[in-house]
Amino acid sequence: MDKTARATFGTKLGIIAATAGSAVGLGNIWRFPSQTAQDGGAIFVFVYLACVAFFGVPIVLAEFILGRAGKANSARAYRNLAPGGWFHVFGYFSISAAFLIMGFYMVVAGWTLEYLRLSLTGELASTNDFGALFSSLTNDAGTQIGWMAVFVLGTGGIVAFGVKKGIELASKLMMPLLLLVMLVLCVRALTLPGAGAGLSYLFAPNLETAGDAGARLLTDALGQSFFSLSVGMGTLMTYASYFGRDVRLAKTAGTMAALDTAVALLAGVIIFPAAFALAAHPESMVETLKAGGPGLVFISIPQLLQSLPAAQVWSVFFFLLLVLASLTSTISLFEVITAFVHEEVRVTLPKKIFSPRGEAAGTGETAVSPGTLRQEYRIARPFAAVVIAAGIIALGVFCACSLEENSALRLFGLSFFDFLDFLTAKLMMPLGGIFISLFAGRRLDKKILEAEYSNAGTLSLRFFKVYRFILRWIAPAGIAVVLVCGLF
Ligand code: PHE
């Protein structure tokens, strides 16, 4: 094989599994329910769905187009597509976003490992105060840091194996299982007496509670849709650089978004009915939910699991899958940085000549002194993975410590953990969305956009004009309005 050829995903199923694997994760099962609860239920859900359809999906497609046409990590791809411009700076922005997201995401992923341990040892089954159990975890920085580090290293290990053997295989195995277990939990939650209150909270709009959240609801919903779809910061672009020429981009974007949305709604249909049905005081549940935060999933799901026969088995299964769903997302975040380091960073080291005639293999060599050459080396994936993992662990330590009660690690009135969540999901990703849509709609050569949209003329160009109009006007303007309204 030509050494310079880029790796590609092997199969179509692999592509769906990897992109949906990136999208489906803690964003759906942990973040979506807690945002819904904080913003008062159904109205949030509807605004969220609108954001997915009008902004999310078109920008997912734009990332696929840019990624496949740019054929490189997100910084190099902009250079390839618009030589001589400053656009690659946005690539650095997106790589930083991936790093910052991992700072808090890995901490939550660490919680899933702790809950898996608690399920395996039976400790979860013997608890009767799930709220207290959760807050004792968030007040124990040592445990959080330990599990976070395990998660980071596990992710790094898989990414070190590369695209086909690592990312694709892992995703293909995990995604179908996750859906299956969630369906079982859904049936259980819906058959609990009193589950209806949770369903109507999720799907029957209540204008009063939405009014309380006000314009914040818009930014929250927009941020959640981007976060959940993994869109706006180069993850999907990096994955699309491994797509073959025959992949149908629009179809893939639609399938991935549909799966992601289905899992988020499924998580809602499990968690809210369970929370209402199992609450000690269902009548004050709406207030509790509003105040509720990151703990929702870690409190109401374990409670729901207890009501199943063979609770421990289900509990192990559920948390194992949550670990795996998080892993397919962390892998995609990690890959954004790894692809960049591996492809862009070079180190120059002296190289001894071993060949008898004094010739050296490789490129970019200059003689330094007799017997020694300097050679530029790429940083191998495993080595890049180790360095990146160390950086993420360092950031994660601050996030984990910031959750302890009375921690001084606060910025702008938020814990460092919440600050990173806010900065990335509500600012960086929407800003990234504006940039990507403008770049694809206005800067990218229209012929390239058209060729990628239609797989070099083999697919119909139906809706192409509408799509380009969305990229040039609707998406950037709409996102900008939401951002401005929500922040001021
Ligand atoms: N979409 C992932 C989730 O829902 C999180 C993520 C965000 C992954 C951004 C990659 C990039 O859990």
User: Tens digits of per-residue pLDDT, 45-62?
Assistant: 999 999 999 999 999 999
Separation of alpha carbons 351 and 471, rounded Å: 49
| Residue 461 scores a pLDDT above 70 | yes
* Phi, psi for 43 (deg, rounded to 5): -60, -40
Q: E-assigned strands of 265-328?
A: none
Separation of alpha carbons 419 and 470, rounded Å: 31
State in Å: Cα 63 to ligand 1 middle: 15
β-strand pairing of 410-411 with 366-369: unpaired
| Residue 358 scores a pLDDT above 50 | no
* Phi, psi for 477 (deg, rounded to 5): -65, -45
**CA quadruple 398, 403, 407, 410: dihedral, nearest 10:** 70
Structure tokens at 338: 């790894």
| C-beta of 26 in contact with ligand 1 (< 6 A) | yes
| Residue 306 scores a pLDDT above 90 | no
Residue nearest to atom 6 of ligand 1 (CA): 230
State in Å: Cα 457 to ligand 1 middle: 32
What is the DSSP secondary structure assignment for residue 241, as one 8-state letter? T
| C-beta of 101 in contact with ligand 1 (< 6 A) | yes
Residue nearest to atom 10 of ligand 1 (CA): 230
State in Å: Cα 443 to ligand 1 middle: 27
Pocket test for ligand 1, best of 235, 236, 427, 429 (most atoms within 8 A of CB): 235
| Residue 487 scores a pLDDT above 80 | no
State in Å: Cα 147 to ligand 1 middle: 19
| C-beta of 73 in contact with ligand 1 (< 6 A) | no
Q: At 124, which amino acid appears?
A: L
pLDDT digits 0-9 by tens, 69-105? 999 999 999 999 999 889 999 999 999 999 999 999 9
Q: E-assigned strands of 107-208?
A: none
H/E element, 41: none
**CA quadruple 305, 311, 316, 322: dihedral, nearest 10:** -20
State in Å: Cα 76 to ligand 1 middle: 22
Separation of alpha carbons 471 and 324, rounded Å: 34
pLDDT exceeding 90 applies to what percent of the chain?
64
| C-beta of 28 in contact with ligand 1 (< 6 A) | yes
Separation of alpha carbons 415 and 151, rounded Å: 22
Mean pLDDT across 205-232: 86
- Are 476 and 272 spatial neighbours (Cβ–Cβ below 8 Å)? no
pLDDT digits 0-9 by tens, 149-178? 999 999 999 888 876 666 677 677 777 888
β-strand pairing of 414-415 with 410-411: antiparallel
Packing angle, helices 12-23 and 169-190, rounded to 10: 60
Task: Measure CA of the first residue to CA of the last residue in the chain; give whole Å.
Answer: 55
State pTM to two decimals.
0.91
Integer Rg of the chain from CA: 23
Hey, which residues does 373 pair with through a beta bridge? 351, 367
Separation of alpha carbons 13 and 281, rounded Å: 45
| Residue 486 scores a pLDDT above 80 | no
| C-beta of 23 in contact with ligand 1 (< 6 A) | yes
Count of alpha carbons within 13 Å of 334, Cβ hemisphere only? 35
* Phi, psi for 193 (deg, rounded to 5): -65, 135
H/E element, 373: strand 372-378
Which pLDDT value is given to residue 406?
87
Which pLDDT value is given to residue 3?
40
State in Å: Cα 194 to ligand 1 middle: 33
| C-beta of 22 in contact with ligand 1 (< 6 A) | yes
| C-beta of 252 in contact with ligand 1 (< 6 A) | no
For residue 284, the SS3 value is helix
- Are 147 and 113 spatial neighbours (Cβ–Cβ below 8 Å)? yes
Residue in this structure with the two tokens 């003689």, named with its chain if needed:
367
Choose among 245, 213, 129, 231: nearest CA to 437. 231
Which pLDDT value is given to residue 288?
76
Separation of alpha carbons 209 and 137, rounded Å: 30
For residue 217, the SS3 value is helix
Choose among 241, 261, 264: nearest CA to 71. 241
Separation of alpha carbons 71 and 141, rounded Å: 41
- Which stretches of 354-474 are DSSP H helices? 381-402, 416-421, 429-438, 446-453, 464-469
Residue 363 confidence class, pLDDT cut points 50, 70, 90: very low
Structure tokens at 160: 């070190």
Sheet-wide strand order for 372-378: 346-352, 372-378, 366-369
Separation of alpha carbons 74 and 172, rounded Å: 24
